[in-house]
């Protein structure tokens, strides 16, 4: 209902609609737009870094600005691009895959998005107010506690706000998956994407609180004169490293697991086969999540934890290669003997397997604690984590976007342009990062502003920079594809690829805002495929046609997030001038006031009447 | 279920807090949130344990802490945990008046606890000059205990808001889950306090 | 609604169940108070350090288990997922505490 009405009322109403929406499909759009924008900003920062390192002793940007670039590139890509793009996919797909009409907490879903967005904006405002954070994305103390200016303060407040949003989102998806599954959708019938989102959300739940505490301690040290990381007063800088990595290592699994799930769905759809070793895949996903919490100290081998701790963490890290290997082989076996259709989504997925495996192998190399003393803080590490994050997460996001784009927007992305975007990106990716392993082994340290002439590093860096330009070209073609397809592509079918297996393909593209006219009855793994094999058109309903209960839109999430945003500035600047405490009180007042309104005002949602639904079915927007 | 059934049920079911899908969702989400809070407080405890020797030669835990005050605070909070159990007992028996009464007692005990905590901090600052900034131990102590105190304050505001909001209309399927999870929150505050009095005060006194 | 037609004796049964549960909870409370007394008493009487620290920790863990299982009803039906997530949180918490007491590099 709301989109049609909004279009009639014009742009203002459409904006208001998005500001207040609690519909998971629209929140997915918001995450996608915001995450996409931050991805482009982070990419621009990467290009500037690569231009600076194009030739020896370059002075394209100053040393200080370079530090800000590397910090913001890392922070933006992890927290403001990869995370929200994953949340976009989770929002767009999970409720549809489990046969639900929305998430468990639509209001909190919207709150999670706005907190993330305001946190991201806060971080990027720092560019214009005297300098961005410059202590690296890991923000190690005491470099961070002694960094002059307010850059690091922006890091602390921005991540605190967007981190709160992520935690809220994680709990929301956990409850959604536990409580909102359609009848017959047992745990062992859930699509792999839903499974991986479940595990990911658990990791979010247990990992983000450590970051929250770390950021609070950093905030207290920088803004209120406490001494957690101040060695002069008995503090200990290693506390930050531990807290950061207790969060940070699960975070990399939070990033990759949902895309493992997406790849599983894509491989089986485009191979026209059920996923090979479904239960082994589920087991491997859970095991990766479990082991992901026991390996954080492998980032700290050179801290001096001693040989026993280093050995334990080395062995635990290597163990993760086992479940990951199970996954790689199962994907290969899924394709084996299948009727493979090489769509753009499939292209990204197939390219992911060797790319990610290389990253996994260098990971095992790094896990050998004794050898790590040699690799630590060199370009070898940079090469490694870009292989897993770009080769895994970014390839995965591109694949998943191609795959679910028709479900999200009702049109497919142009396949030709999709493949055209893939090749320069793929080639550029390997050009950029493969050589970096060797640069690292030759002794080039990471995070350095310049390298010297005559040390054999010139050619490698030049190749790397050229590769980065190829990746930029690929990205731009993808952006062009989005615009081109919006104008030229025809409306997609409900089962857009023709071989859809899971519930999201049983309903129109895009789905009506209540998703399912009648909650479907799930009769097996790959429920739509089960019905297709029985010669049926769609799903068997599990309930009679009737009124549908839906949540109400609300402007409060926006207000709450705005409150934290204002308070954030107050906290940062009260160090200089106590008058800024007014902003703290005003912001917290807006936040707590909005929470009070939410608590006191009843919000029971509304019903969509049977007649309206029948109307929609006649028009063909619901089925 | 129509809105009328939720707000004015003719008869309350056995578990009013879990009778609606919204209630079930809230119940589960809040437990999950407490799982996350466990990690949050563990990080604070870990930081405290790492730094409780960094006293810079003055105001050690042994020297600072007085057990009388902590004992009274412990009794207050433990008792408030039992009174909120009583409140939930009456909720399950659909006796709104008695539930409100026991919640009122819980809140009173909570405020008494908070009063003692503020007095304690004031005492340390003014009698001993032991502040948030005086040493890493000071920072860690005030952060850990202060985070707990902040939780107490938030819990009190939450319960009071619920009590005032629903004073006139009594128990229904919309507010029962809210009362229930607020009481879970209150118990969790007590869980954290058990570790605080053990790890911070008692073990601090032992040295 | 199904619960409207619930017979009166069923209602009576529920109330009895609640009373029974309340009895357990009061007993739990008494034990918690007792443990608290023991803990404070041991510290006041300056019991040997090697004995007292593990004992204090065990007493605290038992008290917390009482809170969770009796006061917060984790022993009741329908608490599988809450228990799973609480134990998950506790496992990460334990790792964190071990780290900060042993691996902090003094």
pLDDT tens figures, B27-69: 999 999 999 999 999 999 999 999 999 988 888 998 899 999 9
Rounded to 10°, the helix A63-75/A151-179 angle is 10
CA A614 to chain B, closest CA, distance in angstroms equals: 20
Q: Is residue B106 part of a domain?
A: yes
**Burial zone of C20 (CB within 10 Å; 0-12 exposed, 13-18 middle, 19+ buried):** exposed
Which pLDDT score, from 0 to 100, does residue A284 have? 97
For chain A, list the domains and their CATH numbers.
2-554+603-619 (1.20.210.10)
CA distance A469 to A299: 30
Residue C3's pLDDT is: 46
Residue numbers in B near C40 (CB within 8 A): 67, 71, 74, 202
Mean pLDDT of all residues in chain B? 94
Neighbours of chain C (3+ CB pairs under 8 A): A, B
- The answer to whether residue A12 neighbours chain C at the CB level (below 8 Å) is no
What is the predicted pLDDT for the residue at C13? Answer: 86
All residues of chain A having their beta carbon less than 8 Å from the beta carbon of residue C96 are 210, 246
Which CATH number goes with the domain that contains B143? 1.20.120.80
Q: What is the 3-state secondary structure (H, E, C) of A323-375?
A: HHHHHHHHHHHHHCCCCCCCCHHHHHHHHHHHHHHHHHHHHHHHHCHHHHHHH
Does C90 reach chain B within 8 Å, measured CB to CB? yes
The residues, any chain, with a CB within 8 Å of residue A36's CB and separated by 6 or more, are: A81, A85
Say yes or no: B196 contacts chain A, CB-CB below 8 A.
no
Flag residues of chain A having pLDDT under 70.
Answer: 1-9
Cβ atoms within 10 Å of A490's Cβ, excluding its own: 9
- Measure CB to CB from residue A224 to each of B132, B136, B158 and give the nearest one: B132
Sequence-distant (≥ 6) Cβ neighbours of residue B183 within 8 angstroms: B84, B85, B87, B88
Tens-place pLDDT, residues C6-30? 566 777 888 888 899 899 999 999 9
In angstroms and rounded to an integer, the radius of gyration of the C-alpha atoms of chain A is 24
Query: pLDDT of A382-420, one tens digit each?
Result: 999 999 999 999 999 999 999 999 999 999 999 999 999
Q: Sign (positive/negative) of CA torsion A175, A177, A182, A188?
A: negative
In a mutational test of the C interface, the residue from A141, A217, A242, A292 whose CB has the highest number of chain C CBs within 10 Å is A242
User: What φ, ψ does residue B5 adopt, rounded to 5°?
Assistant: -65, -30
* DSSP string of B15-75, one letter each residue: SGGGSSHHHHHHHHHHHHHHHHHHHHHHHHHHHHHHHTT--TTSS-HHHH--HHHHHHHHH
Q: Helix A83-97 and helix A106-125: axis angle, to 10°?
A: 170
Domain of B194, in residue numbers = 25-206
Residue A606 main-chain phi, psi, to 5 deg: -140, 170
Tell me the shortest Cα–Cα distance from A279 to chain C, in angstroms. Answer: 20
In angstroms, the CA A113 to CA A90 distance is: 12
- Looking at the domain assignment, is residue B3 inside a domain? no
Interface contact flag, B39 C64, Cβ < 8 Å: no
How many residues in total does chain B contain? 207
Residue C4, pLDDT above cutoff 80: no
In a domain, B34, yes or no: yes
When pLDDT is averaged across residues C67-91 and rounded to a whole number, the result is 94
Of A206, A294, A303, the CB nearest to C88: A206
Token digits of residue B64: 């600072």
**For residue B167, is it within any domain?**
yes
Q: Is B168 exposed, middle or buried (0-12, 13-18, 19+ CB in 10 A)?
A: exposed
Which of C16, C32, C40 to substitute to test the interface with B, most B CBs within 10 Å? C40
Residue C81 to residue A242, Cβ atoms within 8 A:
no
Number of domains chain B contains: 1
**CA dihedral in degrees (A406, A410, A415, A417; nearest 10)?**
-120
| B12 domain residue, yes or no | no
Q: Domain map of chain C by residue range?
A: 7-75, 77-106
Closest CA to A234 of B140, B27, C41: B140
Contact between A127 and A44 under an 8 Å Cβ cutoff? The reply is no
Does the residue B6 lie in any domain? no
Give pTM, 2 decimals: 0.95
Interchain contact C86–B (C-beta under 8 A): yes
- A404's CB contacts (< 8 A; 6+ apart) are A89, A92, A93, A504
* A222 neighbors A145 (Cβ within 8 angstroms): yes
């Amino acid at each position: 209902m709301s989109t049609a009405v909004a279009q009639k009322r014009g742009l203002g109403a459409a904006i208001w609609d998005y500001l207040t929406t609690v519909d998971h499909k629209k929140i997915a759009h918001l995450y996608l737009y915001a995450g996409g924008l931050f991805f482009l900003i982070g990419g621009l920062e990467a290009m500037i870094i690569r231009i600076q390192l194009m030739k020896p002793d370059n002075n394209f940007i100053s040393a200080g600005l370079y530090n800000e670039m590397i910090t913001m590139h890392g922070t933006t890509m992890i927290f403001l691009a990869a995370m929200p793009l994953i949340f976009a996919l989770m929002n767009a797909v999970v409720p549809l895959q489990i046969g639900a009409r929305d998430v468990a907490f639509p209001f909190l879903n919207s709150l999670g998005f706005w907190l993330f967005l305001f946190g991201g904006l806060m971080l990027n405002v720092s560019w214009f107010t005297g300098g961005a954070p410059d202590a690296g994305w890991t923000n190690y103390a005491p470099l961070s506690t002694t960094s002059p200016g307010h850059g690091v303060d922006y890091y602390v407040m921005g991540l605190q706000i967007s981190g709160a949003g992520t935690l809220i989102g994680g709990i929301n998806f956990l409850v959604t998956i536990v409580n909102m599954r359609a009848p017959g959708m047992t745990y062992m019938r859930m699509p792999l994407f839903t499974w991986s989102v479940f595990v990911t959300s658990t990791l979010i739940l247990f990992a983000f609180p450590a970051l929250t505490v770390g950021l609070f301690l950093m905030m207290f040290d920088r803004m209120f004169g406490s001494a957690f990381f101040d060695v002069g007063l008995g503090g200990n800088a290693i506390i930050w490293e531990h807290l950061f990595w207790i969060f940070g290592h699960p975070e990399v699994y939070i990033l990759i697991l949902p895309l493992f799930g997406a790849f599983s769905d894509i491989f089986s759809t485009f191979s026209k086969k059920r996923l090979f070793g479904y239960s082994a895949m589920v087991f491997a996903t859970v095991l990766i999540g479990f082991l992901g919490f026991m390996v954080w100290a492998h980032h700290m081998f050179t801290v001096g934890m001693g040989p026993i701790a280093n050995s334990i963490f080395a062995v635990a890290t290597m163990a993760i290669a086992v479940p990951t290997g199970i996954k790689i082989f199962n994907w290969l076996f899924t394709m084996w003997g299948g009727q493979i259709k090489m769509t753009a989504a499939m292209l990204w997925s197939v390219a992911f397997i060797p790319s990610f495996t290389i990253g996994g192998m260098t990971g095992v190399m790094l896990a050998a604690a004794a050898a790590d003393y040699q690799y630590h803080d060199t370009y070898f590490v940079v090469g490694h984590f870009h292989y897993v994050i770009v080769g895994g997460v970014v390839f995965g996001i591109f694949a998943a976007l191609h795959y679910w784009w028709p479900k999200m927007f009702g049109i497919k992305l142009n396949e030709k342009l999709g493949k055209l975007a893939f090749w320069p990106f793929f080639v550029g990716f390997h050009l950029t990062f493969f050589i970096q392993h060797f640069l690292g082994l030759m002794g080039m340290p990471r995070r350095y502003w310049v390298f010297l002439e005559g040390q054999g590093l010139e050619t490698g860096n030049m190749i790397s920079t050229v590769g980065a330009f190829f990746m930029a070209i690929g990205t731009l073609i993808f952006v062009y594809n989005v615009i081109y397809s919006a104008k030229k592509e025809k409306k997609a079918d409900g089962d857009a690829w023709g071989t859809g297996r899971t519930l999201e393909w049983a309903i129109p593209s895009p789905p009506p805002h209540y998703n399912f006219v009648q909650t479907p009855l799930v009769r097996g793994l790959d429920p739509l495929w089960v019905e297709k094999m029985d010669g049926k058109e769609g799903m068997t309903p599990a309930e009679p046609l009737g009124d549908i209960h839906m949540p109400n839109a609300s402007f409060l999430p926006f207000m709450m997030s705005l409150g934290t945003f204002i308070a954030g500035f107050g906290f940062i600047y009260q160090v200089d001038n106590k008058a800024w405490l007014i902003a703290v009180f005003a912001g917290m007042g807006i936040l707590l006031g909005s929470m009070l309104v939410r608590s006191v005002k009843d919000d029971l949602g509304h019903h969509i009447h049977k007649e309206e639904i029948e109307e929609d079915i006649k028009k063909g927007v619901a089925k | 279920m129509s809105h009328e059934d939720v707000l004015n049920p003719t008869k309350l079911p056995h578990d009013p807090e879990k009778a609606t899908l919204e209630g079930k969702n809230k119940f589960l989400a809040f437990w999950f949130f407490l799982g996350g809070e466990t990690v949050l407080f563990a990080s604070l405890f870990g930081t405290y344990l790492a730094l409780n020797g960094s006293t810079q030669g003055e105001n050690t835990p042994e020297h600072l802490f007085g057990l009388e005050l902590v004992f009274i605070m412990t009794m207050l909070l433990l008792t408030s945990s039992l009174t909120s159990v009583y409140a939930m007992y009456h909720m399950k028996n659909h006796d709104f008046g008695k539930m409100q009464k026991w919640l009122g007692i819980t809140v009173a005990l909570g405020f008494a606890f908070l009063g003692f905590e503020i007095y304690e901090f004031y005492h340390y600052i003014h009698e001993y000059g032991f502040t948030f900034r005086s040493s890493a131990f000071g920072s860690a102590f005030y952060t850990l205990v202060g985070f707990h105190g902040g939780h107490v304050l938030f819990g009190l505001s939450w319960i009071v808001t619920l009590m005032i909001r629903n004073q006139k209309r009594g128990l229904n399927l919309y507010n029962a889950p809210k009362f229930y999870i607020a009481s879970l929150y209150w118990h969790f505050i007590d869980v954290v306090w058990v570790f605080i009095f053990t790890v911070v005060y008692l073990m601090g006194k032992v040295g | 609604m199904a619960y409207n037609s619930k017979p009166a004796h069923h209602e009576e049964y529920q109330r009895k169940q609640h009373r029974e549960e309340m009895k357990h909870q009061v007993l739990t409370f008494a034990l918690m108070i007792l443990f608290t007394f023991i803990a404070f008493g041991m510290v006041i009487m300056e019991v040997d350090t090697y004995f007292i620290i593990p004992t204090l920790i065990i007493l605290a863990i038992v008290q917390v288990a009482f809170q969770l299982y009796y006061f917060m009803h984790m022993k009741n039906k329908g608490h599988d997922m809450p228990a799973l997530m609480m134990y998950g949180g506790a496992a990460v918490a334990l790792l964190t505490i071990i780290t900060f007491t042993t691996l902090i590099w003094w």
